[in-house]
Amino acid sequence: MNHARTATPMAAVPDVREPRVMEVGDVVLIEVNEGDRASFVTIKAEGEVEIGKRQRVPVKALLGAPFGSTYEVIHGTGAVVRIGPECVDHEDVGSAPTEDERSNKNVSNKQEGAQQLSDGEISALRKKFTAEEVVEIITRYSKTFEDKTAFAQEKYRARKLKKHMTKFLARFPSPRHVCEQYFYNNANKTSYMRHDALSMLVNLGNIGAHAQPIVVDTCAGLVLGAVTNRMGGFGRLCNAFVGQSPMGMEAMLMMNLDENHLETVRHAAISDLVANRKKFQNASSVDEKANETERSTVEESEKKDRKFMKIKYADDEHMDEFAREGFTSLIVASLSVEPKATLEQLLPLCAPSAPFAVWFNAAQPLAEALHHLRNENIAINLTLHEPFLREQQVLPGRTHPVMTTDAGSG
């Protein structure tokens, strides 16, 4: 006897996740005219947000809108119009180049009098017309526009449109975008770390929820923030530092990490971690009281000085937990410590088979550390990577690598 079974089709579960909206206290990465200018701003309850030189927009235009919203500033009136995150300007994609018998060899970029309109007349046009209409009028009064090739005309329009139109994108400051912003504007603060190297560190360190990694970061908290974001508020993260207080964590504070994420982070000096590990292994209490008194004194003084950074130091319970269980992975991203000596100190703190990744801006210190680990049979599967990143221009008929690129990122 055959028994027929009918399968009931499962209804598609709609994605009910709502996009995160901008609220008071959030940090927003403002990108003006497709990245020509970019800056971090903090949303306040009232007032204005500066998006460029002598240009401000009311903060009410941002409050309650989802991250990723695009805005356009109307010249003359100063009004801000939200285009929306779903808006995609297909005109920017471009079209395939067409056959054109014209040539630009007789068109001079420095030809005086090519534009028949004066600066005052163009300023008056900006108050009356939209940016697209202003560009059309400018091209109409240009003596050399018709002599340009179709491709040159397209570039001319795009250049003028970017000059007379102000669009800005309210982007969520993810670890990648924070890394890119610092790399292209203030790279010395993050030790010139690029986002491809940052992603390699997080992946090679096997970072995930419920992990217990240890991080040494002197890149303005960039790596620490990326690891905290990847853990998603689950697990325990130890920020190990050299000296008596952690380094500045400016980049980490730009990532809009909530309390659940920050609660997983504990800060401890490398010397305290090493001493506590030895004490745990030897089951000895030599200088225990002196170490505890010194550590508590340092904690109280640092808490007062860095209260605004929400720093939470590892207490005795956390230190014992780190010593007993060991760390699930190790990430070192610091130019102020020597990789070989740091690994000799921190690898014994890790659990067996724990992965580790070390970033440095030069290959020689890493090669010395790799040679030492291989000779001493301390670790296996050791590799030395140098990431390379090149931007690609992707346009119909004009896809090619960008000719200029950045140097290696460690």
In this predicted model, what pLDDT tens digit does every residue of 310-320 receive, in sequence order? 568 887 888 88
Amino acid 197: pLDDT: 93
| pLDDT tens digits, 236-283 | 999 999 988 888 889 999 999 999 999 999 999 999 898 888 887 775
d(CA 29, CA 43): 11
Amino acid 347: pLDDT: 94
d(CA 267, CA 253): 15
Mean pLDDT for the chain overall: 80
E-strand ranges in 112-233 read 166-171, 213-217
Amino acid 14: pLDDT: 46
Choice between 34 and 355, residue whose per-residue pLDDT is larger? 355
pLDDT grade, residue 218 (50/70/90)?
Answer: very high
Q: In this structure, is the dihedral angle defined by the CA atoms of residues 283, 287, 288 and 292, taken in order, positive or negative?
A: negative
List Cα–Cα distances, 145 to 22, 104, 156, in angstroms: 43, 10, 8
d(CA 315, CA 197): 32
pLDDT grade, residue 373 (50/70/90)?
Answer: very high
Amino acid 287: pLDDT: 47
Amino acid 102: pLDDT: 66
Q: In this structure, is the dihedral angle defined by the CA atoms of residues 221, 226, 227 and 228, taken in order, positive or negative?
A: positive
Amino acid 94: pLDDT: 53
334 has a pLDDT exceeding 80: yes
Amino acid 341: pLDDT: 93
Which three-class secondary structure string do you get for 312-360?
CECCHHHHHHHHHHCECEEEEECCCCCHHHHHHHHHHHECCCCCEEEEC
Nearest alpha carbon to residue 238 among 261, 212, 202: 212
DSSP string, 31-68: EETTTTEEEEEE--SSSEEEEETTEEEEGGGTTTSBTT
371 has a pLDDT exceeding 70: yes
Q: What are the percentages of helix, strand and coil residues in the chain, rounded to 5?
A: 40, 20, 45
Instruction: Report how far apart the first and last C-alpha atoms of the chain are (Å, whole number).
Output: 69
* Mean pLDDT calculated for residue range 171-199: 92
Amino acid 299: pLDDT: 45
Q: Which two tokens stand for residue 248?
A: 């500045």
Lowest mean pLDDT, pick from 72-81, 149-158, 225-234, 288-297: 288-297
The percentage of residues in the chain with a pLDDT greater than 70, rounded to a whole number, is: 80
Nearest alpha carbon to residue 180 among 222, 147, 142: 222
φ and ψ of 347, to 5 deg: -60, -35
Amino acid 124: pLDDT: 80
Amino acid 377: pLDDT: 92
Q: Give the range with max mean pLDDT: 227-241, 268-282, 380-394.
A: 227-241
Amino acid 244: pLDDT: 85
| pLDDT tens digits, 105-115 | 666 666 566 77
* Mean pLDDT calculated for residue range 187-206: 92
| pLDDT tens digits, 79-117 | 788 886 654 444 444 555 565 666 666 666 665 667 777
Nearest alpha carbon to residue 383 among 374, 396, 394: 374
* Mean pLDDT calculated for residue range 381-398: 85
381 has a pLDDT exceeding 80: yes
Helix (H) / strand (E) element for 80: namely: strand 80-82
* Mean pLDDT calculated for residue range 380-409: 82
Amino acid 99: pLDDT: 59
Amino acid 2: pLDDT: 43
Please, how many CA atoms are within 13 Å of residue 249, restricted to the half-sphere of its CB? 28
Answer whether 185's CB lies under 8 Å from 38's CB. Answer: yes
Say whether 254 sits in a helix, a strand or coil.
coil
Nearest alpha carbon to residue 251 among 283, 218, 222: 222
List Cα–Cα distances, 137 to 156, 250, 267, in angstroms: 13, 46, 61
State the pTM of this model. Answer: 0.78
Helices then strands (H, E): number in the chain? Answer: 13, 14
34 has a pLDDT exceeding 70: yes
Choice between 389 and 17, residue whose per-residue pLDDT is larger? 389
Amino acid 9: pLDDT: 46
